[in-house]
Structures are given as C-alpha cells and as structure tokens.
Amino acid sequence: MTTALCRVSSNRMFSGNHQRFSHHSNVNHCQMTFAIYQPALASEQALPVLYWLSGLTCNDENFSTKAGAQRVADELGMILVMPDTSPRGDDVPDDIHGAYDFGLGAGFYVNASAPQYQNHYQMYDYVTKELPAIIAENFNVTDKKSISGHSMGGHGALICAIKNPGMYQSVSAFAPITNPMNCPWGQKALAGYLGDNQESWWQWDSCELINSLASDDPFLALPLKVTQGLSDDFLNEQLKPQALIEACEGKGKVLDYTAAEGFDHSYFFISTFIEDHLRFHRKYL
C-alpha cells in the first residue's frame, strides 16, 4: 500500500538535507510526523538507516536540533530517521491531568491494549513495521538498519531489538529506562496502556525479556552499547542501569557499557557521546 507523504520542511545541512514529513498512520489512526536526514550520497546509492527514538516530552525535533548527529551521519554515509514519540491530535486521548509522563509525548513505544488507548497508541507497530515500510518505499535505503534512543526511547530501542531477531544490525541507548516494571515512569505507563494485570507487562520490559531468552537467542549476539551519565537525576529511581547489566551478565550477553562521570540526562550528555554511538553502529551497517 502506498503511503502519501506531505513534506513539512526541508533544510540543506552539510552535504544533504534534513526533512520532516507527515502522513496518515494506519496503526495509530492519526497523522504522524517523522524527520529524516539524507546525505547527498543517498542520491547515488542506497544507504543504511539508523532509527532514533526520543524520550519523554520530545518529538522528532529535539534530537534533530540538539544532538549534532547529522554531521557524523553525513561523514559515515548513514541515513537518520527520527519518529515522534507518540500519536498526536485532537482525537488522541491524553493523560486526564496533563502529566508529562503519560499520553501525548509519552507513548513508551508499546502497543496499548487498554480500551481507551488501543486505537491510537500502537507505537511499537509504528516503529517496527509501518515506519520502516514507509522509509523503504520512499527513500533510497538498504535493508540494513540499526536503532538507538534516549531514556524512554532507549527503552524503546531495547525492546524493539530484543523482540525482533534479525531486524537490526545493532542497538544502543543513552540512559535507557531498563526495567519499567520496577520504576515509577514505567509502572504508570504500563498500567495506563496495558491495564493493571502485570502479567502482560513483562513483554515490554527489556530486563524481563532478556531474562526469558533462550541460550541461542539471536539478541545475545547483537552488538549492544549503553551510555549512562552518573550525575543523572533519574539514575537510581527510574533508569536502573544495574538491572540491565545484571540481566546481560546472567545470559552471557556482551554489553558495551559506559558510565560517564559528571554527565546528566540532558542533550548536553547526548551530544557529547552521539559520535561514539554512530561510529559504533556504522561498523555493523
């Protein structure tokens, strides 16, 4: 099925262009927006793609304007694709109290099953199925792709990679929410989108998913890089990197983990280490 794209903006950047597009989403039943950076080389040959998933309160523009990733992507010959963090629109339900950590801007990259949210909040299917199909249909890309993200988006990158063996060449995360079943952000999101039956929550928790893997699961061989600032205000209550470290150790999974002294949760942190992550991914794309 052909998806009609409406170009929202286009800006020359380095050798290529940074563009934003909107389209009707068949899984989220609303208009969605994504950004894409294409080096000039994409006009001559197909290039691999890195998908970036942003965190709470963000849309595609936060990473686009603050991370400084396009310069490195241009040098490395990579396309960057940056979706929004949730469905949006007048008909899309939000948190009834207008909280920042649920609803609009806080889709958590899950497929909602709670009746009031399931019609729109299917961000997992959007990121892993609908959006990649749109990118493949409309842009000059290879079949190789990797995924990365920050905070809520780091959680999203991890679950997308774990649940889809063979889809990605590598995965990385900045300060990911590693164990949402056991932190306030995650508990609120999972209860809201999935309901109170916690037996359904584990399939959206990267630590629980890793703990459940068979010894020959392909994810255990997938290159994984995580960078965490040690001055992050959310480190112990919300992010729980030690839970991910222990889950990987328990399965013999190699984890390239960097504990960055003095860095917080902001885009100052991301912009410092984004080049390391892009070069990490390019080795496998």
Q: Measuring CA to CA, how many Å separate 34 from each of 49, 60, 87, 110?
A: 14, 6, 11, 18
Q: Measuring CA to CA, how many Å separate 140 from each of 71, 80, 192, 257, 282?
A: 19, 12, 38, 33, 17
CB 167 within 8 Å of CB 34: no
Q: What does DSSP assign to residue 16?
A: E
Q: How far is residue 93's CA from residue 106's CA, in Å, rounded to a whole number? A: 12
Extract the tokens encoding 30: 């609303």
Q: How far is residue 11's CA from residue 19's CA, in Å, rounded to a whole number? A: 6
For tokens 């019609």, the residue is 119
> Active-site residue 24, yes or no?
no
Q: What does DSSP assign to residue 216?
A: T
Q: How far is residue 139's CA from residue 141's CA, in Å, rounded to a whole number? A: 6
> Active-site residue 265, yes or no?
yes
Q: How far is residue 281's CA from residue 285's CA, in Å, rounded to a whole number? A: 6
25, 64, 232, 277: which is the annotated catalytic residue? 232
Cα 215 off chain centre by: 26
151, 170, 172, 206: which is the annotated catalytic residue? 151
Q: How far is residue 176's CA from residue 226's CA, in Å, rounded to a whole number? A: 8
β-bridge partners, 165: none
Q: How far is residue 108's CA from residue 214's CA, in Å, rounded to a whole number? A: 26
120, 150, 155, 265: which is the annotated catalytic residue? 265
> Active-site residue 18, yes or no?
no
Phi, psi torsion values for 191, nearest 5 degrees: -65, -40
Q: Which residues are catalytic?
A: 151, 232, 265
